């Protein structure tokens, strides 16, 4: 999915809203716009969208709180915009379930590339669901069609879209060391930045979901100077 996808642009700067709406529509996307959090919520109550471009600073509710609200009810991909080019803001956004981030000021072409990359990854995950239906590992079960993770105690564990995607990557490559560069490329569709902590944040989040966040994780281990490895045996059900 790429062209024809419905993008919701949420930004209180009218010039940015108009610029992005015109630019994305010129590149084949459908768009809706919102100037504040209440308008975002109203739009999503009326109809789903394929991706949200969400500004961090809004007049009624900040982007972090809105990202948390979206993630509580749906797995719509989110790209956050931030004028504060600070690493901790980016990390917090990722921890709340954002799929990517772009710092202001930005080139519309860069945002377009990020949108296409996120939508492409989401589409690939949907295609995977047509083949492998369920992964089983260490008593856990991940259903691809339902995007649901079931614990060994048969409890549903919620996953953000980015967590689901990362878990699928590990399950497709069990007992194989995956470098940070490989994970960033597969998750974000771009080369790694030496200071990019996004994958470390995602792995930490996923470990928490799996109850594997102690001092010595058992399922997803860190291999010093090499990357991460899923140690469990994986069963595939079609």
Strands (E) across the chain are located at 6-10, 30-34, 51-55, 78-82, 100-103, 134-137, 140-143, 148-150, 156-157, 220-223, 227-230, 234-237
The answer on 139 and 122 residing in a single domain is no
Q: How many domains does the chain have?
A: 2
Cα angle, residue 157 at apex, residues 124 and 230 outer, rounded to 5°: 60
Query: pLDDT by residue (tens digit) across 78-129?
Result: 999 887 656 666 677 777 778 888 888 889 999 999 898 888 877 655 555 5
pTM of the model: 0.61
Question: Does residue 131 sit in helix, strand or coil?
Answer: coil
Task: Supply the CATH number for residue 53's domain.
Answer: 3.40.50.2300
Query: pLDDT by residue (tens digit) across 153-204?
Result: 999 998 887 889 899 999 989 999 999 888 888 876 655 455 567 788 889 9
Whether residue 1 lies inside any domain: the answer is no
Average pLDDT of the chain? 86
Return the pLDDT at 92: 74
Burial class for 171, CB neighbours closer than 10 Å (0-12, 13-18, 19+)? buried
Structural domain boundaries, residue 135: 129-237
Whether residue 58 lies inside any domain: the answer is yes
Cα distance between residue 236 and residue 15, in whole Å: 49
Domain C-terminal end among 127, 149, 173: 127
């Amino acid at each position: 999915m790429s062209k024809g996808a419905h993008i919701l642009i949420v930004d209180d700067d009218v010039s940015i809203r108009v610029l992005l709406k015109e630019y994305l529509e010129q590149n084949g996307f459908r768009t809706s716009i919102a100037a504040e959090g209440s308008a975002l919520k109203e739009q999503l109550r009326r109809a789903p969208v394929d991706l949200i471009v969400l500004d961090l600073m809004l007049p009624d509710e900040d982007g972090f709180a809105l990202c948390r609200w979206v993630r509580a009810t749906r797995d719509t991909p989110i790209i956050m915009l931030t004028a504060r080019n600070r690493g901790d803001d980016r990390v917090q956004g990722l921890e709340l379930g954002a799929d990517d981030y772009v710092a202001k000021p930005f080139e519309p072409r860069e945002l377009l590339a990020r949108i296409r990359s996120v939508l492409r990854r989401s589409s690939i995950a949907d295609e995977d669901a047509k083949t492998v239906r369920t992964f089983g590992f260490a008593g856990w079960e991940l259903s691809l069609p339902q995007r649901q993770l079931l614990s060994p105690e048969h409890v549903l564990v919620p996953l953000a879209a980015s967590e689901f995607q990362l878990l699928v990557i590990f399950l497709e490559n069990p007992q194989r060391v995956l470098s940070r560069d490989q994970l960033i490329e597969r998750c974000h569709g771009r080369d790694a930045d030496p200071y990019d902590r996004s994958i470390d944040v995602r792995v930490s989040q996923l470990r928490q979901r799996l109850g594997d966040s102690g001092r010595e994780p058992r399922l997803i281990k860190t291999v010093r100077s090499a990357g991460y490895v899923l140690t469990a045996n994986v069963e595939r059900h079609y």
